[in-house]
Copies of this chain bind each other. A is one copy, B any other.
Amino acid sequence: VSTIQEVAERAGVAKSTASLAFSSPERVSEATRKRIRDAAEALGYRPNALAQSLRAGRSRLIGLVMADTRNPFNGEILQQVQEAALEHGHMVVASTTNEDAGRERKVLDELAALRVAGILLAPHSSDPDFLAYLRRLKPRIALIDQALDGFEADVVTSDSHLGASMLTAHLLGLGHQRIAHIAGSPGLWTSEQRCLGFESALRAAGVPPAPDLLLHGDFRGQSGYEQAMRLLTRPDRPTAIVAANNFMALGALKAMEDLSIRCPDDVSLASFDDVPWGEVVKPRLTCVVQPVPEIARLSVRWLLERIGGGADALGPPRSHRFIPTLIRGASTSPPAGTAR
């Protein structure tokens, strides 16, 4: 690639003029503008974004930090964020933490060093140290998918509390009373909201939450399998399970198979987030799905507004919770021996 200096020489003008020809074409005479354009064309000139950013004090990069892109839910967030960012002329630096607090800080450090314009963060840590660290971090941060109590920032999520309540109410409506919840990693906002939503739906129906029916996993399939195994091998096993995400639900389903427990005939199963081509998973899972494209687009928009330095840049933190949608699958049905 070539520099603006070379373009200028070829066009027989000063580099400042060549620069002007691109930034404010109207301030350059017709003739020279053409010469500069032609020279740039011939040389295949592309402005050096690094230099532009250094000069401007801000890059056209945004960082996206999430746990794991192997989960198609996150894969879609990335896809949508990337598209939305590109429409605004920004590229996305994608970083995964693999659920590791150390890695999370490391990638945030790197993003700060890169002077990214802003960071979309689906936080994994939530300890006070981490919050203090985040507050010191220079790039603007917006939270996506996962909120963080005690940290002031725009946050775009779906309503996890409501979603969990919807799933639980659906099961209660079918007649279930012993409903278990396989929750996500302790400490995470989504995990806790989903727990609360689960319990609140139970209480609303006059069913006292049983502590032994609330187990924590870590959002990975393996943990769903293990916790489901615990639940299902008890003498007083639950008649229905709510999993806090898609992978843990699949793990639970696998556990049922291995135990020859039929779903939904013996035990019903419902979860957060669909799986790709969920239609061919047997049985089709009942789940609540989040409007991922909207979450991605709004978070990008808000982040860029903050960065833009316009009137929107100030003002109190904004928060939006999208309403999830319940998809009735075949994995939930009235409990077997409901003749109570």
Show the binding face of A for B, using Cβ within 8 Å: 1, 44, 46-51, 53-54, 59, 61, 64, 68-72, 74-76, 78-79, 82-83, 86, 91-96, 98, 103, 106-107, 109-115, 136, 138, 221, 247, 250-251, 253-254, 257, 275-277, 279-282
Determine how close the nearest CB of chain B comes to the CB of A172; give it in whole angstroms: 25
Minimum CB distance partner of A111 in chain B: B91
Checking B50, B54, B86 against A107 with a beta-carbon cut-off of 8 angstroms, the contacting residue is: B86
Are A98 and B83 in contact, with the CB atoms below 8 A? yes
Q: Which residues on the B side are within 8 Å of A114 (C-beta)?
A: 49-50, 61, 91
A136, B71: Cα distance in complex, Å: 36
Minimum CB distance partner of A256 in chain B: B280
Question: 27 A-B pairs, CB-CB below 8 angstroms?
Answer: A46-B112, A49-B110, A50-B50, A51-B54, A61-B93, A61-B114, A64-B94, A69-B76, A70-B75, A70-B276, A71-B75, A72-B72, A72-B75, A75-B75, A75-B78, A78-B78, A78-B96, A82-B94, A82-B96, A83-B98, A91-B95, A92-B93, A250-B280, A254-B277, A257-B280, A280-B281, A280-B282
Number of copies of chain A assembled together: 2
Determine how close the nearest CB of chain B comes to the CB of A115; give it in whole angstroms: 5
A247, B75: Cα distance in complex, Å: 15
Rank and list the top 9 A-B pairs by shortest CB-CB distance, nearest first. Answer: A282-B282, A94-B94, A250-B277, A75-B75, A69-B75, A49-B113, A1-B138, A49-B114, A253-B280
